[in-house]
Structure 1
């Protein structure tokens, strides 16, 4: 059976930045206006007041200080609170494919490849811009790759679900070199008018090239991968193609995006490290064998607790680095970004564990070892 390795990774973030203070000023202006306009209904108990936010609340709840975003003006405009992205003609490259290609080209350049060296493309992200044709097919065409292409979604764990699939396809001989890309335009999904979630997400694109081991030096051996699910709707987004049919019956229907933060925290902190440890047990890897774990960046308290349960030691920025303060939660791209930023200093032969977790609940884990 053919072994697989991660040959290269790459990530790209937009230059536009929104600080906590900027976001709070916009959100509080919206909340104050709403509460003023609906004061009578709120006083009568017919409507709920929109609570105010603060930079301190955001930092304490998440560890986030800034986030990079595709488009800033629309998010901060209290009359829209969504990014302003002009529609494109069908013959133009789509926004999400273009976003993906930013990180794809970086990963290709690092590996010394061009698109013709790729024989499989997986877009693994929280959502795709359209239902069909697959965004992966568009990326495949843009880079001149061959073979198969498909889109998949498993929320914040999607990149590691893609890695698990790529590992299996390569080990079984069905592919030689697979590109996994996670273009996450999460500010288009988020509801910036809801206090519980208005601060969470940023935008980022990440990519991995996974290939069969042909004996060349460099890269990271994939020692093991594992994915598991446990159903929950505590973190949910209902945006989809059925919405227009639902709105034909109820024009006021709004697709749901929300989370029960306390329940998600409790459930995922209990579930995610168990999945990672099961994967480690399958390959006889103990916590003492693991120098570093790269975790999905959901919030800092989850990162602290999940790292400790995987490593059996307190989290430090050395053994489980965090990038939340700068980028926020960038969904499935975050674990690849974290790995890309914090792996060069590891020595040949040292081992690390990736773990990502999110809606579904879906958890993905992978163990990798640096090659000579």
Structure 2
């Protein structure tokens, strides 16, 4: 059985930033227009009035102050409320593959690896731009790798599901080096016309290079990984290839993102720490032996509670750092971004836990030790 190593990570976030104040101004302008245009239906009780948002509401609900986005103007335009991304020619690199490469290149460069040395590529993200060919195949081609590749989607836990698979394949000897990348352009999925979700997502890409230990110093030993699912419809996105067929029956049908925030919070806060603790028990790791937890950045209250239940102590910026304020929820890329931004100060022998959780429900956990 081979030892699995995280040799390097990479991440990238766009330079375009939307503050809470900008987002609120746009959303409230939309809400005012909606309420005026539908005043009669609202008065008759046929539809609900669009509630107004505020920076204070967003901060209290999530801890988010800003988010980095792929394209800004379309999100803030009340006639579109979604990013403007021009279609590309058939022969051009796809937008999401180009986005992914901004994290893949730094990860490979830090490890001193060429793409041809990679045995497999896993694109693990909440959604892929197309059904086929796989985005992973395109990235594999861009870096000059051969071998195998595939896409997987497990919402905000996707990156750790990819790490779990990579770890298993390397430990069993099926591969020497696997690249897991998570390009998350979540502002294309988000519904910016709904107050309860209009502020949640930002865009970012991450990458993890996982290798079999060949004696080269450095990196992080993967002590163990674990994933677990529990089906739920309480956080759901209906964007997909069947939408065009659904519109033949209802031309006005608009797929969207639906969330019962209170139920999701309750369910995930109960499930995620159990998955992480089960992994810790399996490998004989006590909470006091964990110096740091890198958690998916969903909202700050969730981060606080899950950190406390995993670590057995109150969350602090040292034992479970948060990047929510600056980046918002960047889906599965957030746990890898958090790890890279907040791991340089750890010493050889220090142990940490990654944990990500999201729609599905799916939860992924990984225990790592600095070499």
The TM-score bracket by the shorter chain reads over 0.9
Could you tell me how far apart the structure 1 residues matched to 2:77 and 2:257 are? 20
| Distance apart, 1:256 and its partner CA | 3.2
Could you tell me how far apart the structure 1 residues matched to 2:84 and 2:104 are? 24
Runs of 4+ with deviation above 2 angstroms: none
Q: Which residue is equivalent to 2:302? A: 302
Q: CA RMSD in A?
A: 0.5
The TM-score normalised by the length of structure 1 is 0.99
Aligned pairs for 1:52-63 (under 5 A) are 52-63=52-63
> Which stretch has the larger CA shift, 241-250 or 51-60?
241-250
2:122·2:179 contact (CA, 8 Å) conserved in 1? yes
Could you tell me how far apart the structure 1 residues matched to 2:90 and 2:330 are? 27
Could you tell me how far apart the structure 2 residues matched to 1:67 and 1:254 are? 25
Could you tell me how far apart the structure 2 residues matched to 1:14 and 1:356 are? 22
Could you tell me how far apart the structure 1 residues matched to 2:98 and 2:323 are? 24
Q: Specify every segment of 5 or more residues in structure 2 that has no aligned partner in the other structure, as ranges.
A: none
Aligned pairs for 1:96-111 (under 5 A) are 96-111=96-111
2:121·2:179 contact (CA, 8 Å) conserved in 1? yes
Could you tell me how far apart the structure 1 residues matched to 2:15 and 2:37 are? 36
Could you tell me how far apart the structure 1 residues matched to 2:262 and 2:216 are? 47
| Distance apart, 1:255 and its partner CA | 1.2
Aligned pairs for 1:90-239 (under 5 A) are 90-239=90-239
Q: Which residue is equivalent to 1:314? A: 314
Could you tell me how far apart the structure 2 residues matched to 1:207 and 1:240 are? 25
Corresponding residue SS for 1:357 = strand
Q: Deviations over 1:316-361 (max 9, x none)?
A: 0000000000000000000000000000100000000000000000
Could you tell me how far apart the structure 1 residues matched to 2:328 and 2:60 are? 13
| Distance apart, 1:38 and its partner CA | 0.8
Q: How many residues align?
A: 371
Could you tell me how far apart the structure 1 residues matched to 2:71 and 2:243 are? 25
2:8·2:210 contact (CA, 8 Å) conserved in 1? yes
Corresponding residue SS for 1:131 = coil
Corresponding residue SS for 1:23 = helix
2:161·2:227 contact (CA, 8 Å) conserved in 1? yes
Could you tell me how far apart the structure 2 residues matched to 1:355 and 1:365 are? 4
Q: Which residue is equivalent to 2:32? A: 32
Q: Which residue is equivalent to 2:246? A: 246
Q: Which residue is equivalent to 2:327? A: 327
Corresponding residue SS for 1:366 = strand
Q: Specify every segment of 5 or more residues in structure 1 that has no aligned partner in the other structure, as ranges.
A: none
The TM-score normalised by the length of structure 2 is 1.00
> Which stretch has the larger CA shift, 57-66 or 247-256?
247-256
2:222·2:366 contact (CA, 8 Å) conserved in 1? yes
Corresponding residue SS for 1:273 = helix
Q: Which residue is equivalent to 2:277? A: 277
